[in-house]
Structure 1
Amino acid sequence: MAFPVPSPSSTRSRATILRGCAVVLLLCPLLARADDAQASRLREVGRMAKFVPDVASSRLRTMAWQMAGAPAPLRTDFLYYYSTAERGIGDLTHALDLADQLISFGRRNNDNVALAKGLVARANALYVREDLAGSHATAFEAERVAGLTADVPTKVLATVAAGQSFEEQGDYPAALAKFHAAVDLARQVTTDAAPLAAALHALVLLYLNMGDLDKAAEAQQESLAVARRMASPGHVAAALGDEYALAVEQKAFERGRRALFEELGLERGIGARQMAVTTLVNLSDCYLKEGRFRDAQTYAAQALDAAIDARSNNDVATARVNLGQALLGQGHLSEGKRQFEAGLATYEKQGDKPELLGVLREYGRALEHAGDYKGAVDAYNRERRISSEIFAEQRQKAVLELQQKYEAEKKQRRIDALRQENRAAKAELDNRRLQQRVWWLLAAASALASVIVGMLYRKVRRANAELEEKNVQLKRQGALDPLTLLYNRRHFQDVMARAGDERRTGGDADAGALFLLDVDHFKAINDSLGHAAGDTVLTTVAQRLRVALRDTDLIVRWGGEEFLAFVPAVAPGELEEVALRIMRGVSVQPIEYRHGVVPVSVSVGYAPLPLAFGTTPLTWEQVVNLADMALYLAKSHGRNCAYGIRGFSAAAAVAASLDAIERNLEQAWRAGWVDLAAVRGDASDADMPLPLPAQA
């Protein structure tokens, strides 16, 4: 299974490549020469922003105080590079904040170059956050603003971003026109080859998506030549990745492998860990395509270790699937199926059904080839079930879209009617004023006109108030999960972002704790009773959580059968009591469904917020990750229980990293690095402490 190789079933992967690789080739525009040493240093770090974002982020952070008073061109490129690096390491909140700073800087100084680059940076961050509509609108605005400037590299940058947006929308003719325009613009730049490399890179990938291999090969030949002339390992590695994608489509596997081995050497040389993971995955997949299962196993195992080190869950899942396929190809049924199922579990948890469908199809073929016909039939049945679910979801989505369109048109008609009424009221008021001037001496008529004017004014105000109330209702509905009517994940992220802003500006952000809970055996309920029963369980759990928690607590449908509760203003010593109240509140009695009952319980992981590791305060995302690891402990130690993080020992920050603690929370507890609490959910054993694993 090749993540970056274009194929009919990998549209989302291709889009990720476009956003992840093409735009980064423009990270090195000409800098102002106000300070040559400073500009040279910034340009050097800028080249690293995508390929080795962790190193670039660290260096850019140390340059922040110097850049605060730097000339406008340096300040512009600093904020653009910094946003790109933060996006590369996954800190989307900071990446968006830096992009917004650049947008404000451009508008405040009437600097369209800065404004266009800020808009492109924002569009890229929104894309990674999967806000495609916002990303595309911002990219098109960036192209419009860049067109007002005389800066050709900036025009190329924005034109490529607009072309990518058209491609993601499926409008290939418009995308092709944009990329050709970007290539023509980039040929005008004689002092920097990066704009041309970026435009050619995007053009190659579009031709691959369109299936036009001859034109893709022609563009790729020039793209690779331009990258080699630049003598930039990162740019050459990106071009070699395109060379592999083209070679696979042409069934030239040996040529593709040569490109991958050269690419891997360059990536390791510059420390581009994430790029190296993708290359190792592609190597294992290339060998799988030729049936060389032992070689495929070797590189899939290397890809798995590298993906775990880079903390890339998607690549971990892909590497496990490739490893499982290689083992099955060699007849190792038990271990091969174990690796395949582990990869499938990640896709199932993410809810990526199209990707899961393709993996199950490969699983069935591999099992059939290995002689496990029963397993192949089971995989086929799972594939059919998911295919049916996707069809049902698409049909439901179409119905909902029609309903939403009808409601939108209905609301628009009401708004138009109100506006017409306002215009009529204004005309009536104008007429009454004219009558007042004409009949000034007629007191009775004047009084009557005043009464009518007052009535019309109140009517207009009432109509405007109704319209405002409807707008508030629409905004509130967008923050709710449609099944449980709890807040959704996007609303929680907005709340946390506002809380972060308050902390940065000296405001009083609420302190408390995050509780992450998962319905026990939910998959078994769905499989045995059907999805309608699962929906009943989820809505009932949501109702019971409202009863168990306070009105001031924020309850969120986190995804699937997972819920998240943010409990502000709670003392550290009361967290176990809150966890117990949640578990007992959910399992207070079985849920009635049709003519029977469904027992239900939850497992809980929790942690205080704010929380510090040594002297470093953790972000709310890191606290959620720790709560998720505590939830995993609860699930693996019998379910219907809660594990919570009270804090870290004084030696933890010296003896270990936060990454190591997140990877194995139980081992970290044994080592004395983390203080854990455990609570049993069974009412009958409420007074019995839940034992933690023996500490070494």
Structure 2
Amino acid sequence: MPPSAGVDRAPRAAWQAALRGAVLAVACLASTLAAAEGQPGTSIATSVASRPAPAQAAAQPAAIAQRIMVLERQGRARPQETAAEVDAEITRVAPFSAAHRELLTVQGLMLAEAADGAAAERSALALDDWHLHPGAQEAGLAAGAALLIRATFAAHGGHDLKRADALVQEALGRLPPEVSDLDRYRFVMVHGYIKDRAGQLEEAVRLHHQALALADQLGTPWRRAEARTALAYSYFGARQLERARQLSDEALALASEATDWVGLGRAHNTAGIVLDGLGDQDGQRFHFEQAIACAVRAGSKRDEARYLANMADFYLKKGEFRTALLHAQRALPLARELRDPDSELVALANIGFAHISMQHLPLGKRFVAQAIAIDEDRGALAGAASTWLELGGYLEQAGDLRGAVAAYHKHRKLMAGVLRADEQKAILAMQEQYDAEQRNRSLALPQREQQIKAEQLHRRDLQQLLWALAGGVSLLSFGVIVALLRRVRQANRLLSASNQVLRQHGERDPLTGLANRRAFQDEMKRRAADGMLCGTVYLIDVDHFKQINDHHGHAVGDAVLVEVAQRLRATLREDDLIVRWGGEEFLVLVQAMAGDHVDALAGRMLAALEGTPVAVQSRQVAVTASIGFATFPIGPASLPVPWERAVNLVDTAMYLAKAHGRNRAYGVRLRQAANDESLQAITGALEAAAQDGRVALTLLRTEGQAKPVEVAA
């Protein structure tokens, strides 16, 4: 299934609904609440005619607050039905009151999280009306809540995280200075979810820690459980697996205490994801099975569909394809009944992958095509590209190499559309902004930053004092002034060193210590003002890395990446640039070399990575890589190429290496002079260009120290 599904998409989507609420025994609660309002035996949906008499007014606020909590909790499992109950409850409260505002907020959030955009927008529009009524209570909070509902739908239903983040920021700007812990909790949880999905894990962890503290202050067990589930998932994304496991265990205990079947299901689901990262497959299966059982008991069909999709992904990894197919087939009708495109496409993709793995290739491809069509129809091209990529992997395993290459080309074509040059610049700008934010918030450097600020203030005070003393030099000895000058110079040196530490932190990958994309972009600016690349580029992708994570756990996967970085360092020269390009990909940039030296270096890197298995935790993990490479300017006419397009070309060559068996390298050389437009066409159809003679592809393998071989494709 697609990388963003299962342990990436479906589990994330499973806890992403973590703001919704759990199912209690409704009849029992109805009786309790009716009694609290002084109306024994009255239905929960009490009519307007049966509002409490004035003598009961003092008891009403507490009863309404309890009722709202019940609706919020219940709405996580059955949002549409609960939204109708909220409508009935609204008729029982004063218009434009605090209770009215909170009911609309709860209603809008549960519908937005269920991706019912039209219904959620009705709640948001009702909150927008607050400013039209001078006597309305909490007008600022109502305006913020309307924006929060829209942000929630943008993240859950619209898959537009940039817009969602902007809406939350605007919502926070509308809030009055004094906000209750409960309202603040709702805002922080939504914001943390958005940051988590956007991959800004450090910020997500910070926000979810705030949510956990607020939940503990509120003291409600099911909220305390959902806050821990959310934080556990953020820690999982940040590879803090033991901390994630501890939090998921706490969430399980609290959800059990609250008899919260929805929360318990989500806590089990997150626990399964964490144990997957720790390599505990038996524990993962147990928790996924428990999550499904809890979703069934809660009556939460949306969660049930997502957990079934998780189980399908689990069985695909285990090679139990028929069992995976059964789980995905159970998830599909539920997803369609709920009109949940995320769960539907995950189920379709898993059905297709199971059929392909059982050699039902045409049938499997049809199901995967339906999954891809869902993403393409709603404009989620990155998701569609991701599914094409995984399809290529399944087809390759099934022996359909031609189909695998075609799928990889589809992936490349879609990614080229997603990452057009103008969009790349926007993405890089956002990445730079995030890197700056990350440095400022780095948990490892708060003391250093405080020290820098203190030194800046200290330097300013010393300089002011120095000039004052200079004005009255007759009153002080020359030696005192010299000492102060030394103090200023020392402060300047400390400030310069501290700034250097911050700069290095922002340009280094924290896991491997290699340069990151930010450092590579800065290097491109230094080497060529026009952005044209000069040198030989190698793009290296660790083979079957997902399987390493699946079979051994993410801790072992991280150790493999560290070892790969060390072996590349040992193979290359000190002045060669090695970049952690992303995930299991590494980029190497060296000065332009003669053709035979370029090929020889690719061969040495292949051999260095394949040579000895990586020893981790008493395990021996075999490692190989696929490499694409080319030298720029390229071709007989030395065509200048922007670095983004150069990376795209070697990326395509690297995918050819993967499609044709892995543990090999493909080098690209232009045979004909070409312009920028024709180079783009070659990048999109590299094999065809090799067959018609526009490019030459050089194949390198390590078996028997074979010499480079020029191939047609």
- TM superposition score normalised by structure 2: 0.50
The corresponding residue for 1:52 is: 115
Q: Is the 8 A contact 2:639 2:675 kept in 1?
A: no
Q: Is the 8 A contact 1:126 1:135 kept in 2?
A: yes
Distance in 2 of aligned mates of 1:60 and 1:246? 38
Distance in 2 of aligned mates of 1:234 and 1:87? 17
Q: Is the 8 A contact 2:357 2:398 kept in 1?
A: no
Distance in 1 of aligned mates of 2:237 and 2:316? 22
Match of 1:156 among 196, 210, 225: 225
1:234 CA displacement: 1.4
Match of 1:135 among 204, 213, 225: 204
1:327 CA displacement: 7.6
Q: Is the 8 A contact 2:147 2:167 kept in 1?
A: yes
The corresponding residue for 2:18 is: 25
1:230 CA displacement: 2.8
Q: Summarize the alignment of residues 78-227 of structure 1 with structure 2, pairs less than 5 Å apart.
A: 80-88=148-156, 89-101=158-170, 103=172, 108-190=177-259, 193-227=261-295
Distance in 1 of aligned mates of 2:166 and 2:221? 26
Which deviates more from structure 2 when the two are superposed, residues 152-161 or residues 300-309? 152-161
1:343 CA displacement: 2.5
1:283 corresponds to 2:276: no
1:297 CA displacement: 2.1
The corresponding residue for 1:297 is: 365
Q: Summarize the alignment of residues 413-432 of structure 1 with structure 2, pairs less than 5 Å apart.
A: 418=455
Q: Summarize the alignment of residues 4-43 of structure 1 with structure 2, pairs less than 5 Å apart.
A: 14-28=7-21, 31=68, 36-37=89-90, 43=106
Percent identity over paired residues: 14
Residue 17 of structure 2 aligns to which amino acid in structure 1? V
Distance in 1 of aligned mates of 2:645 and 2:153? 28
Q: Is the 8 A contact 1:281 1:318 kept in 2?
A: no
Q: Summarize the alignment of residues 544-563 of structure 1 with structure 2, pairs less than 5 Å apart.
A: none
Which deviates more from structure 2 when the two are superposed, residues 339-348 or residues 202-211? 339-348
Deviations 1:144-165 (A, max 9, x none): 3433332444433321222112
Q: Is the 8 A contact 1:603 1:635 kept in 2?
A: no
1:282 CA displacement: 1.1
The corresponding residue for 1:9 is: none
Q: Is the 8 A contact 2:128 2:142 kept in 1?
A: no
Distance in 2 of aligned mates of 1:15 and 1:248? 14
Residue 157 of structure 1 aligns to which amino acid in structure 2? E
1:534 corresponds to 2:574: no
The corresponding residue for 2:308 is: 240
Residue 124 of structure 1 aligns to which amino acid in structure 2? Y
Q: Is the 8 A contact 1:301 1:319 kept in 2?
A: no
Q: Is the 8 A contact 1:2 1:281 kept in 2?
A: yes
Distance in 2 of aligned mates of 1:337 and 1:28? 45
Distance in 1 of aligned mates of 2:396 and 2:630? 36
1:318 CA displacement: 4.5
Deviations 1:466-523 (A, max 9, x none): 9889999978998883123399xxxxxxxxxxxxxxxxxxxxxxxxxxxxxxxxxxxx
Deviations 1:67-126 (A, max 9, x none): 666769987876554322212323323322333355567782143333333333223322
The corresponding residue for 1:611 is: none
Deviations 1:35-80 (A, max 9, x none): 8236666555533434426546644553441466676998787655
Are the structure 2 counterparts of residues 427 and 210 from structure 1 closer, same or farther at C-alpha, using a change threshold of 3 Å? same
Distance in 2 of aligned mates of 1:48 and 1:206? 28
1:296 CA displacement: 0.9
Taking CA–CA contacts closer than 8 Å with sequence separation of 6 or more, which of the two structures ends up with the larger relative contact order? Answer: 2
User: Secondary structure of the equivalent of 1:25?
Assistant: coil
1:178 CA displacement: 0.1
1:482 corresponds to 2:522: yes
Q: Is the 8 A contact 1:116 1:158 kept in 2?
A: no
Are the structure 2 counterparts of residues 221 and 526 from structure 1 closer, same or farther at C-alpha, using a change threshold of 3 Å? farther
Q: Is the 8 A contact 2:188 2:207 kept in 1?
A: yes
Q: Which runs of 5+ in 2 are unaligned?
A: 23-66, 72-85, 91-99, 420-441, 508-517, 528-591, 599-628, 649-669, 685-713
Residue 283 of structure 2 aligns to which amino acid in structure 1? K
Match of 1:448 among 475, 478, 501: 475
Q: Is the 8 A contact 1:139 1:158 kept in 2?
A: yes
Distance in 2 of aligned mates of 1:288 and 1:527? 44
Are the structure 2 counterparts of residues 134 and 56 from structure 1 closer, same or farther at C-alpha, using a change threshold of 3 Å? farther
Q: Is the 8 A contact 1:26 1:194 kept in 2?
A: no
1:175 CA displacement: 0.8
The corresponding residue for 1:316 is: 384
Which deviates more from structure 2 when the two are superposed, residues 177-186 or residues 118-127? 118-127
1:535 CA displacement: 8.2
Distance in 2 of aligned mates of 1:15 and 1:313? 17
Q: Is the 8 A contact 1:51 1:275 kept in 2?
A: no
1:181 CA displacement: 0.7
1:261 CA displacement: 2.0
Count of residue correspondences: 452
1:206 CA displacement: 2.0
Distance in 2 of aligned mates of 1:150 and 1:414? 37
Q: Is the 8 A contact 2:312 2:327 kept in 1?
A: yes
Residue 68 of structure 2 aligns to which amino acid in structure 1? L
1:199 CA displacement: 1.7
The corresponding residue for 1:65 is: 128
Are the structure 2 counterparts of residues 422 and 270 from structure 1 closer, same or farther at C-alpha, using a change threshold of 3 Å? same
Distance in 2 of aligned mates of 1:468 and 1:107? 38
Are the structure 2 counterparts of residues 5 and 128 from structure 1 closer, same or farther at C-alpha, using a change threshold of 3 Å? closer
Distance in 2 of aligned mates of 1:141 and 1:247? 36
Distance in 2 of aligned mates of 1:560 and 1:127? 31
Q: Is the 8 A contact 2:2 2:349 kept in 1?
A: yes
Are the structure 2 counterparts of residues 19 and 453 from structure 1 closer, same or farther at C-alpha, using a change threshold of 3 Å? farther
The corresponding residue for 1:613 is: none
Distance in 1 of aligned mates of 2:332 and 2:184? 36
Are the structure 2 counterparts of residues 210 and 316 from structure 1 closer, same or farther at C-alpha, using a change threshold of 3 Å? same
Q: Is the 8 A contact 1:117 1:154 kept in 2?
A: no
User: Secondary structure of the equivalent of 2:159?
Assistant: coil
1:324 CA displacement: 6.0
Q: Is the 8 A contact 1:99 1:119 kept in 2?
A: no
Q: Is the 8 A contact 1:45 1:56 kept in 2?
A: yes
The corresponding residue for 2:409 is: 341
Are the structure 2 counterparts of residues 271 and 16 from structure 1 closer, same or farther at C-alpha, using a change threshold of 3 Å? closer
Residue 308 of structure 1 aligns to which amino acid in structure 2? E
Q: Which runs of 5+ in 1 are unaligned?
A: 7-13, 352-404, 434-443, 488-524, 546-556, 563-595, 605-630, 637-696
Distance in 2 of aligned mates of 1:120 and 1:526? 53
The corresponding residue for 1:661 is: none
Q: Is the 8 A contact 1:277 1:315 kept in 2?
A: no
Q: Is the 8 A contact 2:141 2:176 kept in 1?
A: no
User: Secondary structure of the equivalent of 2:68?
Assistant: coil
Which deviates more from structure 2 when the two are superposed, residues 221-230 or residues 247-256? 247-256
Distance in 1 of aligned mates of 2:456 and 2:408? 60
User: Secondary structure of the equivalent of 2:328?
Assistant: helix
